[in-house]
Structures are given as C-alpha cells and as structure tokens.
Amino acid sequence: MPINSFDDYPMTWSPARAGLHPPLYHALAAQLERDILSGRLPPHTKLPPQRELADYLDLNLSTVTRAFRLCTDKGLVYAVIGRGTFVSPNAALSNTTGDTKKFLIELGSIHPYDSLSEILADTAREILRGRDAARLFTLGSAQDEDRHARTACRWLARFSLAAEPTNLLLTAGTQSALAIVLTALFDAGDRIAVDRYTYANFISLAKQLNIRLIPIKGDVDGMLPDALAQQHQQINIKGIYLMPSCANPTGIVMPEERRRDIAAVLRKHNILLIEDDAYGFTARGNAAPMTVLLPRQSVYLHSLSKLTCPGLRVAYMLVPSHCRQLIRRAARSISMAIPPLSAEIASDLIESGAAERIMREKCRMSEERNHIFRGIFPAHTGNTRSFFQWMPLPVGCGGANFEAQAQHRGVCVLSSDHFAVGGEADHSFIRLALCSPPTNEELVRGLRIVHDLMEENTIPPQTETLIL
C-alpha cells in the first residue's frame, strides 16, 4: 500500500514515521508510551487497529503487534477481545500518591493525623538520651533482632495472630516488604490477582517488576470467590494481593463468610496470599486476618506507619516457614534492612503502651471525622472509623476531569484512575482522605467544595414533554 494512503484518514493515534528507527517495534512502543504519559492520548482512548497502523506506517503487522505487547506489559494499554486496544485508565497518572502538589485543602494523599507524631518524637528523644544510644547507629545485632521480633509477635497477638519470632521479619515499611515478597517469590510475567481498584503503589511496583496484575470482579463485600476461581481456570494465577480489613482505596471490610470462601479457593489451587493489613485496626468487630485461615500459604504485612506515626517506616512481615529463607535472602540482596533506631522506637512504643494509645486516639478522631463526613453526605455508608471514604462520581463525570475541577477550587482529591487495574469501568470514583486536613474546620470546607462539585456535575433527569 502506498505510504501516503492514510495521510488524510482520521485516526485516534497517528505516530510520526520520521521517529521510527531500528528496532522499529521498540521505537513505535516508545512513541506510544510518550503520547500516553504526556496526556495526548487520554485514558480509554481506542487505538487504531494494528493492521491499520501497519498499513499507515508501511510496516509488518508483527512489528506493530510487538510494540503493542511492550506497552501492554507496562500497563499502558489493554485489549478487549472483539473491541480493540485501549489506553489504560491509570497510565498517564502518577501511581504513587505521595507526590501530589501542595493544595489549599488536602483530601488526596493520606496523612494519618500528623499531629500525633510528637509522641514519636518524645520516644526518640528518650532513647537517644540512653547510655548505649551509639549502638543504634551501627549494624543491628542478632540479639536485638530477636528482641524486636518477640515484641512484634506479642503485638500481633493482639490482632489474633499467633506468630513465632523465627518467621517474623522487620522491614522499612510496607512498600519495602512488598518489594521483598515480589522479588523473592515471583518472577517476571507471573500473575497476581487483585481487586478492580487496589493500592496504587502496589500497581507501580508490579509494573517495575513486570508482574501482571489480574483484576477480579467484586461486590460490596469484596472480591467474588467464583470470579477468582473462574479466572484461575483461564490463566494460571500464582498469588493474590488483598486488604480484607479496610481495603485501600474502597474501604471495603470483607465479612467473615467471604474471607472463608476466598480462602477455600486459594487453598484448593495453592495460590499464595499477600495480606496487607495496613488499616485493619480501623475495622469494627476485630475480624481475624485471613492469614489465620491460611497460615502455610500467606505472607502477612502489618505496618506501624498508619497505626502510629507516618514517619515510622516499620512493618512486620509474617511468613510461612518454607518461604523464610527465600524472603530473608531477598531482603539482604536488595538491602532492605530496617535502621536499628527505627526498630528500637517501634518496640518502645509497643512496650510502653504508647502504640495502643495512639491507635485508640486515631480511631476516635476518625469516628469524629466520619460523623462530619456523613453530615455533608448523609446517604453514604461505609466504615465509620476509616481514614478515607470512597465515593461514586456523577454519571458521565470522569475521574481526571473531577480532579482538575477540585484542584481549581483549591482541593486535592484522588480519582479511581489512580487505583484502577484492567479495562474501562462503568463509573468513576474518588477517594477522600478524611484524616489529612489538620483541623475539622478545614475538612468541612473541603468536603463542602467536593459536595458542590458533585452537584454541579450531576446531570438532571430528562423529563418527558407531552405533545398534544
């Protein structure tokens, strides 16, 4: 076909021929990635058929196919059988929620009641006044490691977990723990099942390690066991990442029956569970972690940064005995050792009872702020102690568009585009971090702005006109 046949043909994406150089598939993929990340190709844009692009660029079809596959592996595009290839909803957005700009009112990133951090500062000062404080700036000893592990086990017992120190590893926060687990137990190309909307930093980490995330359908109680089993029959799923006790971003608390049903599927197919319990302490009823149901095929993560103070990057990772050596080896190889001072502060907070007091105060503050939230959005339901709430946007209102509108009004929110895995969703949502504004008054102002924007974006119902 002549190379200029498509010059005047309307196409949703027309890559520059002059920018193609060997290897051609790699250069074409780079152009597609650049146009997606720059925002030139918005989320859910349908790309031209591969054969049409091949004709337009006078390339072999296999070259275009390889370029699309590269971008699919990076999570930039997704394919729907019978419909075509589309730009992923979260491709052009930053998947790390901590790099948002400074806004007048912060309802996007989660800042878990920063005012309580003074307690951590007091603890650190007391520790550093000690006679042997200098040892906290050297490599930690095996004796200290064992002592901290025993303290962690006593703490986890409060959450219905019977842990042995030999199976417990201290890491520098949940993100470090996730990096260790994925590096130790998964290979590039492996598949991990996740909720349709999941922790944004986990999406980013999986992309970096070329691990495929498979979204599973769910309902108001969380992931559907039958959907998980059906997906596993179609493609081999090696692991599953869940936050059963207050999922980020949806806030769903999975009921006991659903946990048992999911555990039965995992047990039957020998699928490894990665349970992230960052917000479990906010869930009412104190449901036991899913790890209790699957102790030999679960990796359990318990972070102290949300529970106590955000600057305390300490997480406890409970692993099965048969995975212990692999995980410890991975932790050493990628230098994920926790600083001795951080470990000492964490143990002191637990042993002194300060961690318990901070946790209870955060739950009390969350109840207060959720009461404020329901005063402005009375129809909304959810965990009344959650740090955040998940809200549907009006029909036809896109997440990125609502974020931009909120920013213009002086409020930072995060839309579901940041947390989405897989194809196009029927509706868009926003996550509102109720814990982040420094005062209740600022929270009220921010929520009222969001409420007004919701009203402005709501399309009034069509009324029928009687024709006489």
d(C-alpha 221, C-alpha 253), whole Å: 7
3-class SS string, 317-355: EECCHHHHHHHHHHHHHCCCCCCHHHHHHHHHHHHHCHH
Burial of 156 from C-beta contacts in 10 A (0-12 / 13-18 / 19+): buried
User: Which pLDDT does position 201 carry in this prediction?
Assistant: 94
Whether the CB-CB separation of 446 and 105 falls below 8 Å is answered with yes
Q: For residue range 260-316, list pLDDT tens digits in order.
A: 999 999 999 999 999 999 999 998 776 789 999 999 999 999 999 999 988 889 999
Least Cα distance to 352 among 160, 120, 56, 50 occurs for 120
| 3-state class (DSSP) for residue 429 | strand
Residues contacting 300, CB < 8 A, separation 6+: 161, 275, 277, 289, 291, 317, 318, 319
Beta bridge partners of 222: 219
Structure tokens at 340: 């001795």
Annotate 238-272 with DSSP letters as a single string. Answer: -EEEE--BS-TTT--B--HHHHHHHHHHHHHHTPE
User: Which pLDDT does position 8 carry in this prediction?
Assistant: 56
d(C-alpha 457, C-alpha 355), whole Å: 43
- Dihedral of the alpha carbons of 162, 166, 172, 176, in degrees to the nearest 10: -90
Beta bridge partners of 391: 430
Count CB atoms within 10 A of the CB of residue 305: 18
- Dihedral of the alpha carbons of 178, 181, 185, 191, in degrees to the nearest 10: -10
d(C-alpha 387, C-alpha 132), whole Å: 38
User: Which pLDDT does position 37 carry in this prediction?
Assistant: 81
| Placement of tokens 């790309």 in the chain | 47
Structure tokens at 217: 């359908």
User: Which pLDDT does position 97 carry in this prediction?
Assistant: 47
User: Which pLDDT does position 100 carry in this prediction?
Assistant: 44
Please list the pLDDT of the chain residue by residue as tens digits (468 residues). 444 454 556 788 988 887 788 888 988 998 998 888 877 888 888 999 999 999 889 899 999 999 998 888 787 888 877 788 988 877 766 444 444 445 579 999 999 988 788 888 888 899 999 888 888 888 778 888 999 999 999 999 999 999 999 999 999 999 999 999 999 999 999 999 999 999 999 999 999 999 999 999 999 999 999 999 999 999 999 999 999 999 999 999 999 999 999 999 999 999 999 999 999 999 877 678 999 999 999 999 999 999 998 888 999 999 999 999 999 999 988 876 788 999 999 999 999 999 999 999 999 999 999 999 999 999 888 888 999 999 999 988 888 888 888 988 899 999 999 999 987 677 899 999 999 999 999 999 999 999 999 999 886 655 444 443
User: Which pLDDT does position 468 carry in this prediction?
Assistant: 36
Q: Is the peptide bond before 438 cis (omega within 30 degrees of 0)?
A: no
